[in-house]
Structure 1
Amino acid sequence: MNWLVGQYYRLHNGVFGALRHVDWLAPLALRLYLVPVFWMAGTQKIAGMESTIEWFGNAQWGLGLPFPAVLAHLAAYTEAIGALLLLIGLATRWVAVPLLITMLVAAWSVHWQNGWAAIADSGAEEIAVRLGTARDILREHGNYSWLTEHGNLVVLNNGIEFAATYFVMLLALLFTGGGRFVSVDYFLARLYPRSGTARTKMLD
């Protein structure tokens, strides 16, 4: 048994140990995935700031948050500026923190009451009936083939799935940073090493 375990870990270390040479790919992929997500969310809020403030503050059809003007500007510019910083990998860990908070607020205030799924389960009877009715109406009164040319009709459930996914991705970046070789943070860290690192180099 010990021999098998040893053989497994030798194989494991041999195959996956080489990945350390390209460990910068994972944080780079996370950053590049999140950039358009936050850029579009932030710039859309900024472009329609008056509507954004109304949505943040209105308790009847919006979020009903206190200080809506302040929070709307904070959310919008955190997302837009955060996207730019993620793009170049500058202050990656620092910007992950307010973006994490933004995702928590979004999950709690916007999506929580809708459960987990972002897209409603089309197999559920209630959803299937609504989709079937929508298809019948569109086939009769609209150009159904054109409307569904690039994808099927779905019912938006608006659950926490996407917010939770982005939260997990940002949490990973909080711990990994922007990545070796592919972030401004990496090169700044080499220019300005921590005092302990600098002292070690002097002693070597």
Structure 2
Amino acid sequence: MNSSSLQIRLSGLVRCSSNTAAHTNVCRAVTAFDIGSIYSVGVGDRRPPHGQRAASRDFFSHCHPRLLMNSLRSLLAVFVPSWLAARLTRYSPLPIRFIVGYGFMAHGYAKIIKHPENFATILHALGVPAPHLMAWATIVVELLGGFAILIGAFVPLVAVPMIVVLLVATVTVHLQYGFTSIKLMAVVNGVPQFGPPGYETDALYVAGLIALLFSGVGPLAVDAILESLYARVAMRSL
């Protein structure tokens, strides 16, 4: 772009600055390219005339506060709940899926590492019938159910046995210790000592599963890919 064309553009912008409405429109329309072009006038063979430099400073002295306010409004819009909800609602099930799925898998894996027989002994001490069968059933539900929730597959189907496992754990173990799961009792030699956990964690997992049942699994899910298949099966069953 040569100096004469830039001078025409700059003079036109400065003339608009005398009119408030036009000046507002010009300020909103200025792009990074326009600003860079105006500032780069004369960088090369010669500097721009003194009058043109003064006009450029006058233009940016008017536009800079307005551009700053527009940028600030755009930044603050990110913190408006309705603005976020309008754009991110479809992704809201993802954090629930990831934490519930990973949490169940972590508990099932821990029971495998510590040997299922030990878990069966614990169930027997709690008075759970068929402790060996229930131990393996719980591990399978936690591992496979957690993985299914993580990838968003067959969520309405796997959520039922997962909720049953949580309710059994609540009734047989955690309910008698109240609501709070984390009970810091003391710190001995720098090591925190905790009391028996309540049913808080069980309730949070149940709430997460129910939320997925009510709202759907969201994007990046196997169920979203199989939605048409589910619809055909439902039509045939009617």
Residues 102, 147 of structure 2: 8 Å contact kept = no
Q: Distance in 2 between matches of 1:80 and 1:157?
A: 24
Q: CA deviation at 1:90?
A: 0.6
CA contact (8 A) 2:102 2:150 kept: no
In the alignment, structure 1 residue 56 sits paired with structure 2 residue 126: no
2:150 corresponds in structure 1 to 87
For the Cα contact (< 8 Å) 2:145–2:158, is it kept in 1?
A: yes
CA distance in 2, matches of 1:15, 1:87: 27
1:65-101 C-alpha deviation (Å, 9 max, x unpaired) = 0011111111110000011111211101111111111
1:180-195 matches, within 5 Å, as: 181-194=219-232
TM-score normalised by L of structure 2: 0.59
Match of residue 168 from structure 1: 207
SS at match of 1:31: helix
Name 2:100's counterpart in structure 1: 34
Corresponding residue for 1:7? none
SS in 2 for 1:24: helix
How much identity, in percent, do the aligned residues show? 30
CA distance in 2, matches of 1:167, 1:192: 25
Separation in 1, partners of 2:234, 2:154: 21
Q: How far apart in 1 are the matches of 2:232 and 2:85? A: 26
Greater C-alpha Rg: 2
After superposition, what is the alpha-carbon deviation per residue over 1:140-194, rounded to whole angstroms, capped at 9, x for unaligned? xxxx3xx5xxxxx252331011111111111111222311x32110111035534
What CA RMSD, in Å, does the superposition of the two structures yield over aligned residues? 2.6
Q: Structure 1 residues 157, 172: closer, same or farther in 2, change over 3 A?
A: same
SS of residue in 2 equivalent to 1:82: helix
Question: What secondary structure does 2:198 align onto?
Answer: coil
CA contact (8 A) 2:141 2:162 kept: yes
- CA gap of 1:52–1:194, structure 2 versus 1, over 3 A, is same
Say if 1:75 and 1:195 are closer, same or farther in 2 by CA, change over 3 A: closer
Q: Which runs of 5+ in 1 are unaligned?
A: 1-13, 139-143, 148-152, 198-204
Unaligned runs of 5+ in 2: 1-79
Do the aligned partners of residues 42 and 195 (structure 1) sit closer, same or farther apart at CA in structure 2, a change above 3 Å counting? closer
Question: Per the alignment, do residues 23 and 72 of structure 1 end up closer, same or farther by CA in structure 2, a change over 3 Å counting?
Answer: same
- Which residue of 1 is the match for residue 67 of structure 2? none
* 1:30-179 alignment, distance < 5 Å: 30-47=96-113, 48-58=115-125, 63-120=126-183, 127=185, 131=186, 134-135=187-188, 138=189, 144=190, 153-179=192-218
> 1:67, 1:92 → 2: CA distance?
27
